[in-house]
Structures are given as structure tokens and as C-alpha cells.
């Protein structure tokens, strides 16, 4: 009897999570469901509107209609009676966390991990791993959604910054769009480039290519200005270690630019010297080789505090093995 009464007591406890959100200046005057959609990024508009309609959303302890607008400084309370309905599948995958605070994370991504679900890769991605991690550290499942604000190719290793909330995502996205973020990469390239140089070649989509490869050729589709600075750090008999710094954010920029000047990244499955593309393999996306490119340094203003932050990542072992050990010891 005692055991049964305990079960009944527990079943009567309301464990519905509740959160309180403060209206930011840039959302002043928007409708309440639009405001909530920014904060509850794992919820569809349908779920959010249903919570409003059923009286689960309150301002100043009063329920609000869907037409209600919110104003800066107000506190909006939400009882999360609805579950999130556009979650990444959470998976307990190993990730290397370089930095974390309430707003952002900096991750050292391994080569071979896709950043976010795409095509056949709906699991095993960085987003799947981060969703699991954030769910363990949040009030309840799905409150936080990892925000990818810049790209790293699947086979590129190194530093990537993740937004944990909508305001950080917004500010970081604007900083990347306005080129206020500094990134540099280490690449092992074929041959012997000049000691240093600036590659100032527009990049567009390769004509007739269904996988959306990029090119600097004259027949590129919708080319956009692109600039990369590079410096040779060390030379070997057949390869060189290069530090490359992109000043624009074009897709595959460093790989395309280095290949365009005759020095493609070692192991690149797609780009070869002087703007030529390698023949497409049917299995190229499923099992590409590792190209020797590593996101070595990342510098940006914190999206909330605006403090300038700088991070560096060591050369991964697989790239170190491609060149003499003394090269890496000088980095």
C-alpha cells in the first residue's frame, strides 16, 4: 500500500518546465509568437502558437492572445506543455570543447565529421553531438539548439564557434557577414609556392557541376570577389606548409584559391592545379580522403560581451605525419 500511495503522489506533481524570457531591444514591438520563435528555436510556429492559444504564455502574470505584441524589458513566461518538434537527433558523440560559456561554444572539430545534417548524413554530425550535450546541461530537452554560423568542410579539422542562444547566433552571423571575424588555416600543399602572396580571384560555382563545386575560372556561375593571403611556413622536397588567411567567406575558398595558383591542398578530392576539377567519383561524398587543411586560429568579438577572443588549435597528428616533425615544432 505504501508503495502504491507514493506512485500516486508522484503522478500528481506538475513537472512542466517553465521559463522566463526578457524582450530584447531589437525585438521590441513584434508579436508574441514571433518573439518566442527566436528563443525557442527547436519549436515550430504551430507548437508555439498552440501554447499561446491554450494560455501557457503570460506577461505580467496575465495570459496573452496571439495578437499580443511584446516590448523591450518585458518578461514573457512560458509553460512548456508542448514538446520541441524540430530537434536534431541527440547523440552522445565525443566532442572537443575548447571554450564554453552561457552563450557560445568553441569546438575543435575532427576531420570526417559533418558540421550539420545534410543529405544522407542526418546522424553522426557535430549538431547531433551538440544537441545531446546541450540537453544534458539544460532545464529540459530541446530548450537550446546549436547554432552553426560558419562552415567547416567535412574533411577539414579545427576550430568552429557555435551559438547556444538566438541573440548570440544573430550577432555572430552579422559579424561573419560583415567580415569582422579573423580565421587562419594551416594547409599542406603540393609543390613550392612563393614565400608569400595574395590571391585575389573571384569564386563562383563550377559550370554544370551538380555537387556545387567552386571555381575561379572565367565560366564560373555568379562569381563573387574573394581574397586569401598566404605565407609559406616550411618547405619539404615535394610539399609546403602554408598558413592561409581568408578575408572573405566563399565556399571552399582556401582549397579553390590554392589550387588556382598551382598548389592544391594535399589529399583534396575535388580541386587540382590551375583551376582544374578532378573527375567526380560516385562515392566521393561517402568516403572522401582527408585533405590536409586545418582551421588553426579563430578570433572574434564575443557576441554578448563584445570582448575580443582568440583561440588556437594544434596541428592534428595526421597532418603532422605528412611533414617532418621539426616543422610542427616551430608553429
Catalytic residue numbers? 153
CA–CA separation, 35 and 39 (whole Å): 7
Task: Evaluate the CA torsion angle 184, 185, 191, 192 in order and state its sign.
Answer: positive
Contact 297, 311 (CB under 8 A): yes
- Chain-centre distance for alpha carbon 8: 45
Q: Which residue has the cell 570582448?
A: 307
Contact 299, 311 (CB under 8 A): yes
Give the DSSP H or E segment for 36. Answer: helix 32-39
CA–CA separation, 157 and 151 (whole Å): 11
Alpha helices, DSSP H, located in 102-182: 126-136, 166-177
> Residues 6 or more apart from 231 whose CB is under 8 A from it?
195, 196, 242, 243
Among residues 292, 302, 322, 298, which one has the least CA distance to residue 311? 298
> Residues 6 or more apart from 242 whose CB is under 8 A from it?
186, 187, 188, 189, 193, 230, 231, 232, 233, 258, 263
CA–CA separation, 219 and 38 (whole Å): 40
Taking CA atoms, 174 is separated from 144, 149, 170, 179, in Å, by 20, 9, 6, 8
User: Cell triple for residue 67?
Assistant: 495578437
Taking CA atoms, 312 is separated from 98, 256, 296, in Å, by 9, 24, 6
Amino acid at each position: 500500500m505504501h508503495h502504491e500511495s507514493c506512485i500516486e503522489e508522484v503522478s500528481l506533481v506538475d513537472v512542466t518546465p517553465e521559463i522566463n524570457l526578457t524582450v530584447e531591444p531589437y525585438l521590441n514591438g513584434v508579436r508574441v509568437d514571433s518573439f518566442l520563435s527566436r528563443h525557442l528555436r527547436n519549436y515550430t510556429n504551430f507548437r508555439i502558437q498552440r501554447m499561446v492559444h491554450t494560455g501557457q504564455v503570460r506577461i505580467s502574470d496575465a495570459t496573452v492572445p496571439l495578437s499580443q505584441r511584446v516590448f523591450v524589458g518585458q518578461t514573457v513566461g512560458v509553460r512548456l506543455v508542448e514538446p520541441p518538434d524540430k530537434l536534431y537527433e541527440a547523440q552522445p558523440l565525443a566532442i572537443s570543447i575548447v571554450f564554453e560559456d552561457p552563450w557560445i561554444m568553441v569546438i575543435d572539430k575532427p576531420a570526417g565529421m559533418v558540421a550539420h545534417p545534410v543529405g544522407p548524413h542526418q546522424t553522426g554530425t557535430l549538431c547531433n553531438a551538440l544537441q545531446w550535450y546541450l540537453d544534458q546541461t539544460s532545464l529540459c530537452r530541446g530548450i537550446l539548439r546549436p547554432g552553426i554560423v560558419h562552415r567547416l568542410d567535412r574533411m577539414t579539422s579545427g576550430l568552429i564557434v557555435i551559438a547556444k542562444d538566438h541573440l548570440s547566433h544573430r550577432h555572430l552571423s552579422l559579424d561573419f557577414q560583415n567580415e569582422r571575424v579573423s580565421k587562419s588555416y594551416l594547409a599542406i600543399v603540393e609543390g613550392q609556392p612563393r614565400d608569400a602572396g595574395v590571391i585575389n580571384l573571384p569564386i563562383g560555382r563550377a559550370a554544370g557541376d551538380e555537387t556545387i563545386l567552386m571555381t575561379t575560372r572565367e565560366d564560373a556561375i555568379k562569381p563573387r570577389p574573394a581574397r586569401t593571403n598566404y605565407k609559406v611556413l616550411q618547405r619539404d622536397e615535394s610539399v609546403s606548409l602554408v598558413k592561409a588567411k581568408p578575408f572573405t567567406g566563399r565556399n571552399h575558398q582556401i582549397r579553390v584559391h590554392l589550387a588556382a595558383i598551382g598548389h592544391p591542398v594535399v589529399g583534396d578530392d575535388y580541386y587540382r592545379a590551375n583551376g582544374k576539377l578532378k573527375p567526380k567519383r560516385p562515392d566521393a561524398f561517402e568516403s572522401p580522403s582527408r585533405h590536409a587543411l586545418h582551421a588553426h586560429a579563430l578570433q572574434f568579438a564575443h557576441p554578448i560581451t563584445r570582448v575580443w577572443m582568440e583561440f588556437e588549435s594544434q596541428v592534428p597528428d595526421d597532418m603532422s605525419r605528412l611533414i617532418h616533425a621539426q616543422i610542427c615544432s616551430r608553429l
